[in-house]
């Protein structure tokens, strides 16, 4: 399909030259990818691509969990315990001067607390517990005031002006801590559940394309391979229609592919030499004699690893 082996050398036809063109185009499509050795065989290809380490968002499908030795976005700060981390650091999740917990400013970066007063939520003269003024700023506080904590019209639970369940209470109201547009939980700019939150969002710390545990940085390999398959298949189909290239059965490429992670220089030299020498071993190749893109089942002795076909 892509050319012929002559005296141990691969002679590319027009389809093979097309494959070669799209392979090196990977560097333009994926700036974090560098193309290395490429050998196009009559009905399959071998190549080595390098991930240069630019973090463009990898996922957990690419690499299994290992040690947590790769920062989320290539920055010097990790998820917890670093100068710019999520908890306890000078900079919070949303980029304000104060962090999420324990800083002078609240979650959204303002000098006022959750209810907008100069005092913070806990421990200040006008805080939630034990101060003359309650959460909503009324003369009766949350505990110890003429309106008791439980069972009274202005108590903490169940009353129209209480802490939970009321239109202006702490939880569930438009201006409360949870559920409001500018609240702590569940809002577009909150800590949890929003597009810029800590957990579960596209730009978050855990579970997003730039997550913390188990991935390498860079473009996911499956995206790279899929793009190469798509581009080459589309142009091959045009070649069939316009230039009478040989037709293929079903799909030009198989659904899956063999992969191997190169971890040191010695391994790189060994594998790159294998790729370069592949045309000389064509007579023993288990794809030699296959019909188009059909893999023959019986392996040959020269194969040392599953990906060596």
Please check whether residue 48 lies inside any domain of the structure: yes
Any idea which residue has 């009353």 for tokens?
Answer: 159
pLDDT band at residue 272 under the 50/70/90 scheme: very high
- Pair 41, 277: CB distance under 8 Å: no
Q: Which helix (H) or strand (E) holds 277?
A: helix 265-277
Q: What is the pLDDT of residues 216-235, one digit of tens each?
A: 567 899 999 999 999 999 99
Report the C-alpha gap between 135 and 121 in whole angstroms. Answer: 8
Please check whether residue 183 lies inside any domain of the structure: no
Please check whether residue 229 lies inside any domain of the structure: yes
The yes-or-no verdict on residue 243 having pLDDT over 70 is yes
Q: What is the pLDDT of residue 282?
A: 85
Q: Would you put residue 218 in left (φ > 0), alpha (ψ -120 to 50) or beta?
A: left
What CATH number corresponds to the domain at position 257?
3.30.70.1290
Residue among 114, 44, 34 at smallest CA distance from 282: 44
Please check whether residue 267 lies inside any domain of the structure: yes
Query: What is the residue-averaged pLDDT of the chain?
Result: 62
Question: 3-state DSSP call for residue 112?
Answer: coil
Report the C-alpha gap between 123 and 108 in whole angstroms. Answer: 19
Report the C-alpha gap between 88 and 83 in whole angstroms. Answer: 8
Q: What is the pLDDT of residue 176?
A: 40
Please check whether residue 177 lies inside any domain of the structure: no
- Pair 48, 271: CB distance under 8 Å: yes
Q: What is the pLDDT of residues 129-164, one digit of tens each?
A: 444 444 444 444 444 444 443 444 444 344 344 444
Please check whether residue 106 lies inside any domain of the structure: no
pLDDT: which is higher, 148 or 72: 148
Q: What is the pLDDT of residue 210?
A: 42
Please check whether residue 133 lies inside any domain of the structure: no
Question: 3-state DSSP call for residue 83?
Answer: coil
Of the segments 55-64, 149-158, 199-208, 248-257, which one has the largest average pLDDT value? 248-257
- Pair 18, 233: CB distance under 8 Å: no
Please check whether residue 204 lies inside any domain of the structure: no
The yes-or-no verdict on residue 16 having pLDDT over 80 is yes
Q: Which domain holds residue 266?
A: 3-56+218-284
pLDDT band at residue 249 under the 50/70/90 scheme: confident
pLDDT cut 90: percent of the chain above it? 28
pLDDT band at residue 290 under the 50/70/90 scheme: low
pTM of the complete model: 0.45
Any idea which residue has 């091959």 for tokens?
Answer: 236
Question: 3-state DSSP call for residue 53?
Answer: coil
Report the C-alpha gap between 195 and 147 in whole angstroms. Answer: 40
Q: What is the pLDDT of residues 21-70, one digit of tens each?
A: 999 999 999 999 999 999 999 989 999 999 987 654 444 344 434 443 33
How many domains is the chain partitioned into structurally? 1
Q: Which of 38-52, 248-262, 290-304 has the least mean pLDDT?
A: 290-304
The yes-or-no verdict on residue 17 having pLDDT over 70 is yes
């Amino acid at each position: 399909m892509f050319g012929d082996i002559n005296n141990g050398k691969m002679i590319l036809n027009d389809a093979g030259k097309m494959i070669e063109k799209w392979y090196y185009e990977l560097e333009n499509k994926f700036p974090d990818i560098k193309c290395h050795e490429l050998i196009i065989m009559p009905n399959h290809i071998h190549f080595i691509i390098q991930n240069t380490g630019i973090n463009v968002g990898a996922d957990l499908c690419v690499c299994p969990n290992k040690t947590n030795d790769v920062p989320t976005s290539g920055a010097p700060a990790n998820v917890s315990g670093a100068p710019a981390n999520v908890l306890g650091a000078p900079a919070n999740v949303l980029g304000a001067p104060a962090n999420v917990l324990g800083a002078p400013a609240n979650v959204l970066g303002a000098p006022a607390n959750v209810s907008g007063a100069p005092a913070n939520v806990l421990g200040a003269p006008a805080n939630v517990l034990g101060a003359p003024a309650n959460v909503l700023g009324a003369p009766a506080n949350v505990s110890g005031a003429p309106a008791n904590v439980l069972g009274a019209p202005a108590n903490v639970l169940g009353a129209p002006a209480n802490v939970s369940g009321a239109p202006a209470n702490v939880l569930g109201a438009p201006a409360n801590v949870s559920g409001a547009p500018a609240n702590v939980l569940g809002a577009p700019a909150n800590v949890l559940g929003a597009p810029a939150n800590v957990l579960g969002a596209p730009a978050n710390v855990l579970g997003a394309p730039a997550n913390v545990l188990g991935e390498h940085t860079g473009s996911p390999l499956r995206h790279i391979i899929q793009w190469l398959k798509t581009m080459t298949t589309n142009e091959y189909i045009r070649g069939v229609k316009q230039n009478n290239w040989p037709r293929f059965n079903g799909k030009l490429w198989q659904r899956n592919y063999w992969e191997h992670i190169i971890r040191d220089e010695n391994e790189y030299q060994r594998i790159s030499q294998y790729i370069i020498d592949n045309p000389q071993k064509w007579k023993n190749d288990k794809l030699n004699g296959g019909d188009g893109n059909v893999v023959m089942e019986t392996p040959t002795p020269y194969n040392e690893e599953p990906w060596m076909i």
